[in-house]
């Protein structure tokens, strides 16, 4: 990832709008952080995003996972 690359954080990544937003940012050259409650959705999308060669991170979250963000 280039230090000048923009970064996008997409929360609530599901199979519809969230995934479409992640795809759009990845194609646009953004480094993308994907957050969702369902790990399986992130894994499937991560495989797809990896093909774009965009820098990305997936973060499975649960409703009570706030301490992980500190």
Domain edges within the chain: 7-63
Residue 52 near residue 27, CB atoms below 8 Å:
yes
Q: What is the pLDDT of residue 69?
A: 46
Q: How far apart, in whole angstroms, are the C-alpha atoms of residue 23 and residue 16?
A: 11
**What is the full per-residue pLDDT of the chain (70 aa) written as tens digits?**
456 789 999 998 988 999 999 999 999 999 999 998 888 888 889 888 888 888 888 888 776 655 444 4
Per-position DSSP letters for 16-53, written without gaps between them: THHHHHHHHHHHTT-EEEEEES-HHHHHHHHHHHHTTT
At residue 61, the 3 state secondary structure works out as: coil
The pTM of the full predicted model, rounded to 2 decimals, is 0.78
């Amino acid at each position: 990832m280039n230090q000048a690359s923009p970064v996008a954080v997409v929360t609530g990544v599901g199979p519809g709008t969230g995934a479409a937003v992640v795809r759009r940012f990845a194609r646009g050259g953004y480094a993308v952080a994907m957050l969702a409650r369902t790990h399986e959705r992130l894994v499937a999308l991560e495989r797809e995003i990896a093909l774009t060669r965009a820098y990305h991170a997936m973060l499975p979250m649960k409703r009570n996972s706030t301490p992980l963000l500190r």
